[in-house]
Amino acid sequence: MPFLKNLCLNRLLETMSQDPFREARQESGILKCPFQGEDIPMLLRHADVRAAARDWQTFSSDAPFRVPIPSEEDLRSMRQLPIETNPPEHGDYRKIVDPFFKRSKSPEVISKVQSLINGLLDQALARDSIEIVNEFALPIQSHALTYLLNVPESEAKTYISWGIHVFHGDHGEGAPLEAYLADALDKAEASPGEDFFSALTQASYQGRPLTREEMMGFANLTFAGGRDTIIHSISSIIHHFGKHPDDLMTLRSNPKSLVLAGEEFFRAFMPLTHIGRVCPVATDVQGHTVPAGDRVSLGWASANFDEEVFENPQKVQLDRKPNPHVSFGFGTHLCLGAPHARLIVRTLLEAFVAKVSSIEIKKAAPHLERHPSYQRENGFDSLEVGIRTVNH
């Protein structure tokens, strides 16, 4: 009986860490969250989150620094593009960088990502243990980004040196990233090539060249938006296989389900809890009046666990279909980096299914988002595992 009681308690705690919004979602559909002096209502239900994401006139993204929550006035000096704009400007800006984000679908980039992940996994298999966050996930993200941007792979060494949280360096918030981006754009203007930075220096917007601030806005989002998210996704998937070895065996016996499994991991381990929108006029949100100029939060992580949409949402169901998760957003601002993230996760799953027999979790330090209104486990600050080969 004590064993069963502890097992039930552990499962309850695991569910609460996955979905701390359940009670509020079921009762009222919103959770009031204090951030930086604002009392921001977070939309929690799947239908409400998607409706708000579509309605850019009521819930605007034209708010420099205020789309992320907490806001980022102290972390960067420019508007992030195209995410902090509304249509039609958003579409015009997005077209400028679309070709680079579509590179993840090219045979060249696919092959490079496959070689990268398989090579790093082979190294991990040769060791007794490996720390996943810094020694595996961060290198994957950093090297894969060089493929996406078509810059020399040697640049990954710099990206790795920044650590996990790109905005927080030893020399001040955001300083290492902004200095790097400014230097990269200077070099591209002096000697343009076929890389992302050169494309920005040669691009035009509505018939005029991009300003330097606009170039920096594109580059800043590219580096900040796909860093923690991919790292958290990789570490969460590996931890899941360590906790649930049967799921790895299931995928091995049915590799055709890898795409469905990837989407389910994105749903269950959504790395971005929420995102902000600004109400240009006073707006009623589930009975709560949001004053003109104040923000609403779109609760992606809560929407992904909405019982009205997902049966048994606490369970990671690798063959879940349909799976209308909102981990890449919804509507106009659907994530530019979605193909890149999908490529990395699909390739990771393929490699683990082919080569890994078991994963032993040795040490795990979950990353905990602590806020007055909720606490949520989101990825790991560190994760040490032993990975064993199929032929071991």
Where does the pLDDT of residue 364 fall: very low under 50, low under 70, confident under 90, or very high at 90 and above? Answer: very high
Task: Please answer whether residues 149 and 196 qualify as being in contact, where contact means their C-beta atoms are separated by less than 8 angstroms.
Answer: yes
| Spatial distance between the Cα atoms of 204 and 97, rounded to a whole number of angstroms | 11
Q: What CATH number is given to the structural domain containing 91?
A: 1.10.630.10
- For residue 44, tell me if it sits in a domain: yes
- For residue 13, tell me if it sits in a domain: no
Region 51-56 average pLDDT:
98
pLDDT at 165: 74
CA contacts within 13 A on the Cβ side of 115: 8
- For residue 135, tell me if it sits in a domain: yes
- Note the pLDDT tens digit of each residue in 87-140: 999 999 999 999 999 999 999 999 999 999 999 999 999 999 999 999 999 999
- For residue 11, tell me if it sits in a domain: no
Got the DSSP string for 32-80? EEEETTEEEEEE-SHHHHHHHHH-TTTSB---TTTSSSS--TTT-SS--
The dihedrals phi and psi of 384, each to the nearest 5 degrees, come to: -100, 125
- For residue 46, tell me if it sits in a domain: yes
Structure tokens at 276: 């902000």
Which range of residues forms the domain containing residue 203? 24-389
| Spatial distance between the Cα atoms of 268 and 304, rounded to a whole number of angstroms | 7
How many structural domains comprise the chain? 1
| pLDDT at residue 291 is higher than 70 | yes
| Spatial distance between the Cα atoms of 248 and 349, rounded to a whole number of angstroms | 9
Place of tokens 């708000």: 52
pLDDT at 175: 73
CA 150 to chain CA centroid, Å, is: 21
pLDDT at 4: 43
Where does the pLDDT of residue 167 fall: very low under 50, low under 70, confident under 90, or very high at 90 and above? Answer: low
| Spatial distance between the Cα atoms of 199 and 149, rounded to a whole number of angstroms | 10
For residue 269, which of 311, 229, 226 has the smallest C-alpha distance? 229
- Note the pLDDT tens digit of each residue in 207-255: 999 999 999 999 999 998 889 999 999 999 999 999 999 999 999 999 8
Query: b/e map of 363-382 (b: 16 or more CB within 10 Å)?
Result: ebebbeeeeeebebbbbbeb
- For residue 18, tell me if it sits in a domain: no
Place of tokens 């961060």: 138
The dihedrals phi and psi of 76, each to the nearest 5 degrees, come to: -155, 165
Cis peptide before 192 (omega within 30 of 0): no
- For residue 17, tell me if it sits in a domain: no
Region 28-54 average pLDDT:
96
- Note the pLDDT tens digit of each residue in 97-109: 999 999 999 999 9
Mean pLDDT of the chain: 93
Structure tokens at 54: 């579509």
- For residue 111, tell me if it sits in a domain: yes
For residue 151, which of 188, 119, 96 has the smallest C-alpha distance? 188
Q: List, in sequence order, every residue forming a beta bridge with 60; answer none if it has no partner.
A: 278
